[in-house]
């Protein structure tokens, strides 16, 4: 199973599922080989359209994802699915329920499904998910669907990592207004009211429509997030969701928003990696008593914290120059 990185990347590029899975495992495990993996993947990426799906547990994200996979497969697209659970310590396989919902795609060579745990990951979700997405992108996926459990901050984070963000709600879950409070009304490009076979779906859609309408006045060229009602369990409304996604993508391309979002995403990713690297180096300095020495001087009044921070940054940057030279 030991394989060199160039071979792995080449096989992933050819779409071999095992190589794709192995590369995502390297991401998940924060492998030292990641640097080489990402360098080799870079020229192969940029072709995938990344769609994030978020919403409270049980709202129907996995069911909707599975229905979307079917719709995109009918259109001949290759699809990657990444289920990100920031709270789960388990990895490598979907939870049982998700496995059942996704099972119809298990033998389809045009579909990659992977769940990923990010708890305890250095830098968390912000760091790991984009790299896993990059693997799926390089493997030739036309569309990558990223399902994230809605647990507050993480859904805002994942929204910043998708080209288009889908926010799901369902009637009778008491999450309409609460969702708004969680800031969900700011991140949705497309809203889905799932479980439209249940009472209250129309009311939820109306309430959502009302709340979205209360936002700032929109200009003529602005995007107005559509609300689509679905019964994901029966695949009803899924084509309308795909249509809304395609419209949003076209709108983004027309207005330069897609490129802008991708730049912002890349900048955020670089920043996260850089900050993580700086933290590690500062940690190294602490080991060498450099930080302790600075702290000691602050305590005894010989140095102020700003000057100490400057000295620390200088020391860290020197270290970087040393190691690269």
Ligand X SMILES: Nc1nc2c(ncn2[C@@H]2O[C@H](COP(=O)(O)OP(=O)(O)O)[C@@H](O)[C@H]2O)c(=O)[nH]1
Question: Nearest CA to 111 among 84, 73, 137?
Answer: 73
CB 148 within 8 A of CB 53: yes
- Judged by beta carbon distances under 5 to 8 A according to partner kind, the member of ligand X, Mg ion, none in contact with residue 195 is ligand X
Residue from 29, 47, 57, 152 in contact with ligand X (CB under 6 A): 57
The answer to whether 136 contacts ligand X (rule: CB under 6 A) is no
- C-alpha 13 chain-centroid distance: 21
> How far is residue 99's CA from residue 304's CA, in Å, rounded to a whole number?
56
The answer to whether 172 contacts ligand X (rule: CB under 6 A) is no
Q: Which is nearer to Mg ion, 140 or 150 (CB)?
A: 150
For the chain, the 3-state helix, strand and coil shares in percent, each to the nearest 5, are 55, 15, 30
Residue from 23, 48, 59, 167 in contact with ligand X (CB under 6 A): 59
Q: Tell me which stretch binds Mg ion (CB under 5 A): 45-53, 57-65, 302-310, 312-320.
A: 57-65
- Judged by beta carbon distances under 5 to 8 A according to partner kind, the member of Mg ion, ligand X, none in contact with residue 265 is none
Q: Tell me which stretch binds ligand X (CB under 6 A): 12-20, 53-61, 125-133, 282-290.
A: 53-61
The answer to whether 231 contacts ligand X (rule: CB under 6 A) is yes
Closest approach of Cβ 67 to ligand X, in Å? Answer: 9
Instruction: For residue 97, give the H/E element and its range.
Output: helix 96-102
Closest approach of Cβ 92 to ligand X, in Å? Answer: 18
* Phi, psi for residue 70 in degrees, rounded to 5: -60, -45
Q: Which residues have C-beta within 8 Å of that of residue 185, sequence separation ≥ 6?
A: 179, 211, 212, 215
Strand order in the sheet with 227-229: 111-117, 79-85, 143-149, 49-55, 164-169, 190-193, 227-229
Closest approach of Cβ 295 to Mg ion, in Å? Answer: 46
Closest approach of Cβ 62 to Mg ion, in Å? Answer: 3
Question: Nearest CA to 86 among 182, 176, 181, 157?
Answer: 157
Q: Count the site residues for ligand X by CB under 6 A.
A: 17
* Residue-wise burial string across 150-170, b where 16 or more C-beta atoms lie within 10 A, e elsewhere: beeebbbbbbebbbbbbbbbb
The answer to whether 65 contacts Mg ion (rule: CB under 5 A) is no
The answer to whether 143 contacts ligand X (rule: CB under 6 A) is no
The answer to whether 66 contacts Mg ion (rule: CB under 5 A) is no
Q: Tell me which stretch binds ligand X (CB under 6 A): 50-58, 184-192, 277-285, 306-314.
A: 50-58
* Phi, psi for residue 43 in degrees, rounded to 5: -70, -10
The answer to whether 240 contacts ligand X (rule: CB under 6 A) is no
Residue from 194, 204, 238, 272 in contact with ligand X (CB under 6 A): 194
DSSP state of 226: -
Q: Which is nearer to ligand X, 198 or 290 (CB)?
A: 198
Q: Which is nearer to ligand X, 11 or 164 (CB)?
A: 164
Q: Which is nearer to Mg ion, 61 or 114 (CB)?
A: 61
Closest approach of Cβ 3 to ligand X, in Å? Answer: 33
The answer to whether 62 contacts Mg ion (rule: CB under 5 A) is yes
For residue 42, how many other CB atoms are within 10 A of its CB?
11
Q: Determine the straight-line distance between the first and last CA of the chain, rounded to whole angstroms.
A: 35
Paired tokens of 304: 């102020």
**Touching ligand X, residues 195-224 (CB under 6 A):** 195, 197-198
> How far is residue 300's CA from residue 34's CA, in Å, rounded to a whole number?
43
Question: Which residues are at the interface with ligand X (CB under 6 A)?
Answer: 55, 57-63, 97, 101, 194-195, 197-198, 231-233
Question: Which residues are at the interface with Mg ion (CB under 5 A)?
Answer: 61-62
């Amino acid at each position: 199973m030991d394989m060199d990185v160039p071979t792995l990347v080449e096989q992933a590029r050819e779409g071999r599922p095992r190589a794709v899975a192995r590369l995502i495992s390297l991401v998940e495990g924060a492998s030292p080989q990641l640097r080489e993996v990402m360098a080799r993947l870079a020229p192969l990426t940029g072709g995938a359209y990344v769609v994030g799906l978020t919403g409270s547990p049980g709202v129907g994200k996995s069911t909707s994802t599975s229905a979307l996979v079917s719709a995109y497969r009918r259109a001949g697209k290759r699809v990657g699915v990444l289920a990100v659970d920031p709270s789960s310590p388990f990895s490598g396989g979907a939870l049982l329920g998700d496995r059942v919902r996704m099972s119809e795609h298990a033998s389809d060579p045009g579909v990659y499904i992977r769940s990923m745990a990010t708890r305890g990951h250095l830098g968390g979700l912000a760091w790991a998910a984009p790299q896993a997405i990059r693997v799926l992108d390089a493997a030739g996926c036309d569309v990558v669907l990223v399902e994230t459990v809605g647990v507050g901050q993480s859904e805002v984070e994942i929204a910043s990592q998708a080209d288009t963000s889908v926010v799901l709600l369902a009637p009778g879950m008491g999450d309409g207004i609460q969702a708004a409070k969680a800031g969900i009304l700011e991140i949705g490009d497309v809203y889905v009211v799932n479980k439209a076979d249940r009472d209250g779906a129309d009311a939820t859609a109306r309430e959502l429509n009302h709340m979205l309408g209360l936002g700032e006045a929109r200009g003529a060229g602005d995007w107005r997030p559509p609300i689509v009602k679905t019964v994901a369990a029966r695949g009803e409304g899924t084509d309308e969701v795909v249509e809304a996604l395609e419209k949003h993508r076209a709108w983004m391309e027309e207005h330069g928003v897609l490129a802008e979002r991708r730049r912002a995403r890349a900048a955020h990713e670089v920043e996260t990696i850089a900050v993580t690297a700086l933290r590690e180096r500062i940690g190294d300095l602490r080991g060498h008593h450099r930080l302790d020495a600075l702290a000691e001087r602050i305590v005894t009044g010989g140095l102020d914290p700003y000057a100490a921070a400057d000295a620390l940054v200088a020391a860290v940057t020197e270290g970087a120059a040393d190691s690269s030279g």
